[in-house]
Amino acid sequence: MSKVLFILNDPPYGTERSFNGLRLAKSLAGKDTHVTVFLMADAVACAKSGQKVPQGYYNLELMVKAIARGGDVLLCGTCLDARGITDAELIEGTRRSTMDALAEATLTADRVLVF
């Protein structure tokens, strides 16, 4: 089984980088691939629960939930704190993490993709 690490930096809405990274992560999950998504900077907001978007617009909360069911979704703790997002506000299955955990995931990954 291959391991793919996604590092996302952009906010959930306003650009489509995080959306595209999560789309690819979701497509790879379950294809004999273990997916880890590390959200940092403004991308930590992708894992905030209770997102409300206009009808017909993509919802990153649903995408993150799907990835978390079969892979790992880790969030930079420093980035969460800087944005005032608490652990209680996070989507179930995602978790606060550290740069040391990102370093370990980077070293053990077969591929690292940055969005």
CA-CA distance, 33 to 4, in Å (whole number)? 7
113 bridge partner residues: 6
* DSSP label at residue 48: B
Please tell me whether residue 67 adopts helix, strand or coil conformation.
helix
72 bridge partner residues: 36
Q: pLDDT digit string (tens) for 37-88?
A: 999 999 999 999 999 999 988 999 999 999 999 999 999 999 999 999 999 9
Instruction: Of 87, 80, 96, 92, give the one whose Cα is nearest residue 43.
Output: 80
Q: In the prediction, which pLDDT does 56 show?
A: 87
Q: In the prediction, which pLDDT does 67 show?
A: 97
Phi-psi sector, 8: left (phi>0), alpha (psi -120 to 50), beta: beta
Which domains does the chain possess?
A: 2-114 (3.40.1260.10)
Q: What is the pTM of this model?
A: 0.95
Q: In the prediction, which pLDDT does 52 show?
A: 94
For residues 11 and 48, is the Cβ–Cβ distance under 8 A?
no
pLDDT-based confidence at residue 111 (cuts at 50, 70, 90): very high
Q: Which residues contact 84 (CB under 8 A, 6 or more apart)?
A: none
Report the residue count for the chain: 115
